[in-house]
């Protein structure tokens, strides 16, 4: 993303990168807007308009890696955007000419569900960070799932996903899995290890898009983990 | 899994982040516990939430010592306040006062405490079976004056008892009023919740931002200074207004908007007139919701006596009529009755629906379309329903749509036929949109009607 901010030679690529990133983090921004008391539809409009504003005004070009992470930058920009009464007035007018990102039903539902899940949090910044963390891991999992699908290993990914995602379901035993997948225990162990490594890289790669260094990747992950484990 | 809450897909986000750091843990799920209380779990293993608001979550929990079920409110302490002796003392003071308050209209507070790292405060309350006033009004619509007064008087009794303990609620609102059985009232969350998150001048815990629910808060609460019982009286006035109209007297989408309306805009009394609220009660609500605390009833007892006087006067049927508004209100009641009569009969419902939509389509455009975005939403739903794109609209929602259409749609501009249907809503959402927004729009419409004449 920060690369997009500096990529003057290839603006379309930069915008495409931004659009992709924005799509991935639509939900946390929407949740933040909702936490400010806007209705579902107004929050959708405001979030959409915010992204349109970011792109149109090339706000991302002002981002400076030295000054903080993309997450903080985006949140600060959103706060400014919401504080601007003129912008807000303008964006509340429906049916504007420019639609930046198509809003899918599923995406909007998930974003609202995310907001409802965390709407009890006392601090809207924390709500945003928590939603961001969820969007981050979801994006990494989606990318990994797509990779496994491309390799015709979709079933393997589905069976082993629980080893990285935790969840309420009991983790199946290796014996159960070797029976189901028709592989040996050592092969299974190797698959699980590889899946963890690949997920780890997918997640870090996703974080890397929003920060500048490996050190910051760790820092960002720790910070988000801290937000999640405070309660 | 590490025991942290799961996301909507059932994944543990904390575990997924840890994997990125290479510090995955595989431990057994843990039970959320605070002191002697263990949060009960739903069959799917999630914590059993009774409700949550801006400042905390209320869980169904078990008292492991006394072996009884309680409502456990857990509030995250702002990090800036965790080391503060002043805040701790304040919480303790409020907690003792709340625990000492025993009254039939107050949910008793049994026990309170803080987590070992001081990050959370909690208190266990009497578990009240019933529904909140907010839920009752959402479900059944606004209450009549007699019913609303019966509830308000009980709340005023609770406030009077609290005043004897030098305790104020600070966050009185329809969702903090539990109704049990025959509209018997139990006020919940007395004093404590806000004591933790709002130090009221002793320390700026919230960095200048309002914590809680601003809609029913008094104007002086927005200033962050000390508040007294008259602040609760204001909130009770707002709650009574909501019970009578289904609307907050000063709604708004943002904190600034609500604050502005509370401090600058007049009261939308047309809402009360439209609901045929007796004049003495209108007058009392005007004084209760005065911006200046000095113009409100001076004490909960005084307010309670005024409410009881209003109740006695009800038998005299003193009703203020604003003829047009009252007629409109009746028209809506009739439309709603018609729609309700057909709710259980799909064919009649469909016929009524078709008739309303046809009527809507034939209406010419009028010049006041700006404020009717809600109607656009309803019409999107209706059109989509007609086109067979969306068949999950519940009967309840349809009843409201039809009633609103029959009553309201004629004068309004309609959205163009080619407006795409977003299809973003589920049933619950439809009900929320239609009931809540219809009522709000009714209010706006009444105001417009009154002003136009």
User: What is the pLDDT tens value at each position of chain B, 453 positions in all?
Assistant: 455 666 767 777 887 887 777 654 444 444 678 888 988 876 545 567 777 655 667 888 998 888 889 988 887 776 666 667 776 676 677 677 778 888 899 988 888 888 777 777 888 888 888 888 988 887 777 888 989 999 999 999 999 998 887 788 888 889 889 998 777 899 987 766 555 554 433 333 333 345 456 788 888 887 777 778 898 999 999 999 999 988 888 877 677 778 888 877 778 887 787 777 888 899 999 999 998 888 999 999 999 999 998 888 775 544 434 444 455 555 566 666 666 666 666 666 666 666 666 655 554 434 333 334 445 555 555 555 555 554 455 555 666 666 665 555 433 222 232 323 223 233 344 445 445 555 555 555 455 445 543
Question: Across the interface, do B55 and A122 touch by the CB < 8 Å criterion?
Answer: yes
Chain A: closest CA distance from residue B203 (Å) = 17
Which residues of chain B neighbour A94 with C-beta distances below 8 Å? 373, 376
The whole-angstrom separation of Cα A135 and Cα B302 is 53
Is some CB atom of chain B closer than 8 A to the CB atom of A225? yes
List pLDDT tens digits, range A33-82: 888 888 888 888 888 888 777 777 766 666 554 445 778 888 888 888 88
Mean pLDDT for all residues in chain B: 70
pLDDT at A53: 76
Which residues of chain B neighbour A230 with C-beta distances below 8 Å? 76, 119
In terms of CA atoms, which chain B residue is nearest residue A216? B21
Element (H, E) at B179: strand B177-180
**What pTM value is reported for the model?**
0.46
Question: How large is the average pLDDT for residues A203-207?
Answer: 88
Which residues of chain B neighbour A95 with C-beta distances below 8 Å? 419
Question: Across the interface, do A114 and B8 touch by the CB < 8 Å criterion?
Answer: yes
The more confidently predicted of residues A21 and A231 is A21
| Cα–Cα separations (whole angstroms), residue A187 to A156, A194, A221, B281 | 12, 10, 30, 78
* Concatenated DSSP letters of B16-59: HHHHHHT----------EETTEEE-B-TTS-B-EEEE-SS-EEE
Q: Are B63 and B39 in contact (CB under 8 A)?
A: no
CA dihedral B33, B42, B432, B146 (to 10 degrees): -70
Is some CB atom of chain B closer than 8 A to the CB atom of A207? yes
Question: Across the interface, do B19 and A218 touch by the CB < 8 Å criterion?
Answer: no
Nearest to B10 among A168, A196, A207 (CB): A168
- Residue A6 above 50 pLDDT? no
Is some CB atom of chain B closer than 8 A to the CB atom of A89? no
Range B277-294 burial, b when 16+ CB lie within 10 A, else e: bbebbbebbeebbbeebe
Chain B: closest CA distance from residue A172 (Å) = 13
- Residue A201 above 50 pLDDT? yes
CA dihedral A133, A135, A141, A144 (to 10 degrees): -110
pLDDT at B443: 57
In terms of CA atoms, which chain B residue is nearest residue A205? B20
Range A76-102 burial, b when 16+ CB lie within 10 A, else e: ebbeebbeeeebbeebbeeeeeeebbe
Nearest to A166 among B2, B53, B424 (CB): B2
Phi, psi angles (nearest 5°) of residue B50: -95, -25
H runs (alpha helix) in B48-121: 85-100
The whole-angstrom separation of Cα B337 and Cα B333 is 6
Q: Are B402 and B352 in contact (CB under 8 A)?
A: yes
Query: Which of A166, A170, A194, A231 to substitute to test the interface with B, most B CBs within 10 Å?
Result: A166
Question: Across the interface, do A231 and B119 touch by the CB < 8 Å criterion?
Answer: yes
The more confidently predicted of residues A175 and B210 is A175
Interface of A with B in 24-53 (CB under 8 A): 36-42, 44
pLDDT at B243: 93
List pLDDT tens digits, range B307-335: 998 888 775 544 434 444 455 555 566 66
- Residue A99 above 70 pLDDT? no
Determine the 3-state secondary structure of B163 from DSSP. Answer: helix
Range A114-145 burial, b when 16+ CB lie within 10 A, else e: bbebbbbbbbbebbbbbbbbbbbbbbbbebbb
Which residues of chain B neighbour A218 with C-beta distances below 8 Å? 21
Question: Across the interface, do B24 and A196 touch by the CB < 8 Å criterion?
Answer: yes
List pLDDT tens digits, range B245-255: 888 888 776 77
User: Which residues of B form the catalytic set?
Assistant: 171
């Amino acid at each position: 993303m920060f690369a997009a901010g500096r990529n003057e030679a290839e603006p379309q690529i930069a915008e495409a990168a931004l659009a992709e990133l924005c799509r991935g983090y639509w939900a946390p921004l929407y949740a933040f807007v909702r936490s400010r008391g806007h209705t579902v539809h107004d929050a959708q409009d405001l979030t959409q308009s915010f992204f349109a504003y970011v792109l149109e005004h090339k706000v991302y070009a002002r981002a400076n890696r030295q000054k903080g992470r993309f997450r903080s930058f985006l949140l600060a920009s959103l706060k400014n955007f919401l504080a601007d009464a003129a912008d807000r007035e303008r964006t509340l007018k429906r049916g504007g000419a420019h639609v930046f990102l198509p809003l899918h039903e599923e995406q909007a539902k998930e974003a609202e569900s995310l907001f409802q899940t965390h709407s009890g949090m006392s601090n809207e910044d924390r709500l945003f960070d928590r939603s961001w963390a969820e969007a981050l891991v979801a994006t990494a999992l989606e990318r990994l799932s797509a990779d496994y699908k491309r390799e015709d290993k979709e079933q393997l990914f589905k069976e082993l996903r629980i080893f990285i995602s935790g969840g309420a379901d009991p983790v199946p035993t290796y014996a159960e899995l070797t029976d189901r997948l028709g592989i040996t225990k050592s092969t299974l162990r190797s698959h699980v290890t590889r899946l963890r490594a690949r997920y780890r890289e997918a997640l870090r790669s996703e974080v890397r898009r929003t920060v500048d260094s490996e050190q910051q990747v760790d820092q960002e992950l720790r910070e988000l983990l801290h937000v999640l484990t405070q309660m | 899994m590490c025991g942290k809450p799961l996301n909507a897909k059932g994944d543990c986000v904390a575990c997924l982040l840890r994997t990125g750091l290479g510090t995955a843990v595989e431990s057994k799920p843990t039970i959320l516990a605070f002191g002697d209380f263990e949060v009960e779990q739903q069959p799917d293993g999630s914590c059993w939430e009774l409700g949550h608001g801006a400042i905390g979550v209320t869980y169904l929990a078990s008292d492991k010592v006394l072996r009884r079920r309680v409502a456990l409110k857990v509030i995250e302490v702002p990090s800036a306040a965790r080391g503060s002796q002043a805040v701790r003392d304040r919480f303790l003071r409020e907690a003792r006062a709340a625990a000492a308050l025993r009254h039939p209209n107050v949910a008793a507070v049994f026990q309170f405490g803080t987590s070992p790292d001081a990050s959370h405060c909690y208190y266990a309350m009497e578990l009240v079976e019933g529904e909140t006033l907010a839920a009752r009004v959402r479900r059944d619509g606004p209450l009549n004056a007699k019913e609303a007064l019966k509830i308000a008087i009980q709340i005023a009794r609770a406030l009077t008892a609290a005043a004897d303990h030098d305790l104020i609620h600070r966050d009185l609102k329809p969702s903090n009023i539990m109704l049990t059985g025959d509209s018997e009232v139990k006020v919940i969350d007395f004093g404590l919740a806000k004591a933790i998150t709002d130090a009221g001048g002793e320390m700026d815990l919230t960095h200048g931002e309002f914590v809680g629910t601003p809609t029913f808060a008094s104007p002086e609460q927005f200033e962050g200074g000390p508040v007294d019982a008259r602040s609760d009286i204001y909130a009770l006035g707002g709650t009574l207004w909501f019970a009578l109209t289904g609307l907050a007297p000063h709604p708004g989408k943002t904190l600034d908007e609500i604050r502005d309306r509370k401090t600058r805009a007049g009261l939308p009394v047309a809402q009360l007139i439209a609901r045929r609220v007796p004049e003495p009660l209108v007058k009392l609500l005007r004084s209760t919701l005065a911006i200046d605390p000095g113009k409100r009833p001076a004490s909960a007892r005084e307010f309670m006596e005024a409410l009881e006087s209003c109740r006695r006067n009800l038998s005299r049927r003193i009703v203020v009529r604003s003829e047009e508004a009252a007629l409109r209100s009746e028209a809506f009641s009739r439309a709603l009755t018609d729609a309700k009569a057909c709710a259980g009969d799909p064919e009649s419902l469909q016929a009524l629906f078709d008739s309303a939509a046809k009527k809507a389509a034939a209406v010419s455009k009028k010049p006041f379309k700006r404020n009717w975005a809600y109607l656009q939403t309803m019409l999107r739903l209706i059109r989509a329903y007609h086109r067979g794109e969306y068949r999950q609209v519940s009967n309840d929602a349809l009843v409201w749509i039809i009633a609103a259409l029959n009553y309201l749609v004629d004068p309004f501009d309609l959205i163009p036929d080619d407006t795409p249907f977003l299809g973003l809503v589920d049933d619950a959402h439809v009900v929320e949109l239609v009931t809540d927004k219809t009522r709000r729009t009714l209010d706006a419409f009444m105001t417009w009607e009154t002003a136009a004449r």
